[in-house]
Amino acid sequence: MTKPLISLAALFALTSPALAQDAPAAPSPNQIVAEAPVEEWLDIPAQDLIVMTLAPAANGSGRTVVIQLMPEPFSQSWVDNIRTLARAQWYDGITVNRVQDNYVVQWGDPNYDNPETDGAAKPLPEGLAETHERDYVFEYPRDPGGDPSYYPLSAVLRTSWIKGLVEQGIIPDGAQFREALSRQKGDSYALETAYIGGWPVGMEAEFQPKHRDIAWPVHCYGMVGVGRNLAPDAGTGAELYTVIGHAPRHLDRNIALVGRIVEGIEHLSSLPRGKGQLGFYEDESKRVPILSVRVASDLPEAERPAFEYLSTGGETFARYADARANRRDPFFNVPAGGADICNIPVPVRRVAD
């Protein structure tokens, strides 16, 4: 378990450990990312970064969380609202109210739909956009030839896995090839998974009310979503949560995802678990105050954080994804020959001052 130094997969050596020794030493996924050419790193616009400052920890150390909001075409009504709420300083003084183990941390007005309290809700500012369930998903062509950020994960992993079996002579390129295809590894929630514009998505065809190809962002660790009440309420963006456990993908297409935490998630994931229903804190004193939430572009330049992400359309991302799915260094006996999309996070890093 210790020192899992992870090497690049020997792509075609999927079931024969002996072959690994013949393969040249290869860089780990992290090394692959570290060696990416500078042009494959893309700036995150400052207006897409949200800086959330929690009250200091018991030992006095600061706790800052940075969230990257999603760009178009994802969830823009909620994303706009989050900027509006931040600029109205509405979030200042709200609290972290819910910490449910292996599920979510949720913050907002402590009286919003909280089974442990019954106080009056905090009034929302003017100017919030209406939000709709239909915007949980967006129309996206199955074969998006013109999108240079597109990386079709399911298709790539499936093809390389089958190819490996054929090249090793484990299955011939014929009837058994097709049999293997019909018993393929895949995603448990979507017919296809992919990356679009630096974000993980599920993809499928929707048949009602009419046929169209759709995509939607998926609930991986650290993704940020919009709390809501029962449908058709789609939430405003005032109530937010992040995933701190195994990806709850059953929430995909049922809640708006608006971003991901790119720094400081440990300040949320290590909070004490709430003992009330759904992990709400029964004891009000456990709630963690949120001192301020600001759009990075509104901060003075000296205080403005800068982040960049690895292009999901570049060569480095493809090598990194393959290395995450097929680990062959001395620690590993058996490469998986696949990975779920939440185990291949898009690399994001702080830009040095």
Tokens representing residue 216 in the block: 């939607």
**Helix, strand, or coil (residue 275):** coil
Nearer residue to a copy of itself within complex by CB, 89 or 184: 184
Nearer residue to a copy of itself within complex by CB, 287 or 324: 324
Residue 2 in the binding site for a copy of itself (CB under 8 A): yes
- The least CB distance from residue 248 to a copy of itself, in Å, is 7
Dihedral Cα 67, 70, 76, 79, nearest 10 deg: 0
Interface region with a copy of itself, contact rule CB under 8 A, candidates 64-72, 116-124, 205-213, 295-303: 205-213
Distance of alpha carbon 279 from alpha carbon 103, whole angstroms? 9
Distance of alpha carbon 235 from alpha carbon 238, whole angstroms? 8
Sheet holding 41-43, edge to edge: 41-43, 307-310, 348-350
**How many binding residues for a copy of itself (CB under 8 A)?**
83
Site residues for a copy of itself, 18-57, by CB under 8 A, read none
Residue 109 in the binding site for a copy of itself (CB under 8 A): no
One residue of 94, 247, 288, 290 binding a copy of itself per CB under 8 A: 247
- The least CB distance from residue 39 to a copy of itself, in Å, is 29
Helix (H) or strand (E) holding 30: helix 29-34
- The least CB distance from residue 2 to a copy of itself, in Å, is 5
Site residues for a copy of itself, 334-353, by CB under 8 A, read 334-340, 342-343
Site residues for a copy of itself, 112-131, by CB under 8 A, read 112-115
Tokens representing residue 330 in the block: 């001395």
Q: Which amino acid is at 238?
A: A
Residue 185 in the binding site for a copy of itself (CB under 8 A): yes
* C-beta atoms surrounding 215 within 10 Å: 25
